[in-house]
Amino acid sequence: MNLYVILHTLNISGAFEINGRLMHARDGLALWDVNSIEIEALSAEATYSALNYLIRRFQK
C-alpha cells in the first residue's frame, strides 16, 4: 500500500508563485508526487484556497 498525495490550489485574489508557477486570480493548480511545496505571495492582499487529498494506492 502506497499513499499518494494530491494538492489542489485555487488562487482567489492577487498573485502567487507556487513551486515556480505564476498564479493569478482564478487560476487553479494540482500538484502530486512532490516532496515539498513552496508558496510565495506576490501581492499584499493575495488569498488562496488549498485542498489536500491523501489517496491510498493498492498494488495487485
Q: Which of 15, 8, 14, 57 is nearest to 37 (CA)?
A: 8
Whether this model's pTM surpasses 0.75:
no
Per-residue model confidence as pLDDT tens digits over 30-53: 888 788 888 999 998 899 888 888
pLDDT exceeds cutoff 70 at 58:
no
Q: How many residues does the chain have?
A: 60
3-class SS of residue 42: coil
Q: In the 8-state DSSP scheme, what is residue 38?
A: -
Q: Please give the tally of structural domains in the chain.
A: 1
Residue 7 lies in domain: 2-57
User: If residue 55 lies in a helix (H) or strand (E), which one and from where to where?
Assistant: strand 47-57
The CATH number covering residue 29 comes to: 2.60.120.10
Per-residue model confidence as pLDDT tens digits over 5-38: 788 888 899 999 999 999 998 999 888 878 888 8
